[in-house]
Amino acid sequence: MTAAPKRAMVLAAGLGLRLRPITEQLPKPLIEVAGRALIDRALDRLAEAGVESAVVNTHYLGEKIEKHLSRRQRPAISFSPEKVLLETGGGVMQALGRLGGGPFYVVNSDIAWVDGPEPALARLAQSWDDARMDALLLVNAKARSPDYDGRGDFFLTPGMRLRRRKRDESAPYVFTGLQILHPRLFAGAKPGRFSLNLLYDRAEAAKRLYAVAHDGHWFHIGTPDGLALAQRELPRIEQAAR
């Protein structure tokens, strides 16, 4: 890619049910880890990567997210409220008109990461090949994913292509929630509720699903244990990285 994406979407519409009672009055994107709300961590990194505008989808306690982000200057924020949850694919598709005609970042708001030698978003942008790719995901080695005990998501080939694990397999990589997508990934998709996984599978079949392996630290803030781990470990890791 000659230039990094200038537009992005942050997924912030989830219910955060596994983090109750914390999320009964506080939407998950506003949970603070190491003194910074999760959604601000994502937007800070996007701003550092040169993103000029970001769409944030909202649903549960969306008014609190909008109020919180009203104080931000960079990137410029617009909101995509969802009356009913559209999941990841439907949420991005609803916002496509504001994401431009080229590749754009999508970042989950329930993660925290520490870059390796080079920023993860920059590595994605530098690895993007418009002729070959419709989706480029950042994946993390399962062995380097704290508090993860699942069977993994993908196999990563030497040519950076991804293959989703089959039902009876265990895969060495998990999706981090950071990615670059192209609008053509959504060609033929119908508006409404659906997961990006459906489009990943279609891109995989067309040999247009690729990935970059993360070389830093990554935390998924989806459960009380995951939150406790991030709150305990992230300040130490960030201090050491300075």
CATH of the domain at 215: 3.90.550.10
Residue 29 lies in a domain: yes
For residue 237, what are the domain limits? Answer: 7-241
- Per the domain annotation, does 178 fall within a domain? yes
In a domain, 233, yes or no: yes
Lowest mean pLDDT among 8-12, 52-56, 84-88, 234-238: 234-238
Domain assignment of residue 1, yes or no = no
Position 161 scores a pLDDT of 96
Query: How many domains, the chain?
Result: 1
Mean pLDDT of 175-195: 97
Give per-residue pLDDT as tens, 134-152.
999 999 999 888 778 889 9
Whether 2 is in a domain gets the answer no
Residue range 94-124, pLDDT digits in tens: 999 999 999 999 999 999 999 999 999 999 9
pLDDT at residue 3, rounded to an integer: 80
Tens of pLDDT, residue by residue over 34-47, are 999 999 999 999 99
d(CA 112, CA 86): 23
1: confidence class by pLDDT, cuts 50, 70, 90: low
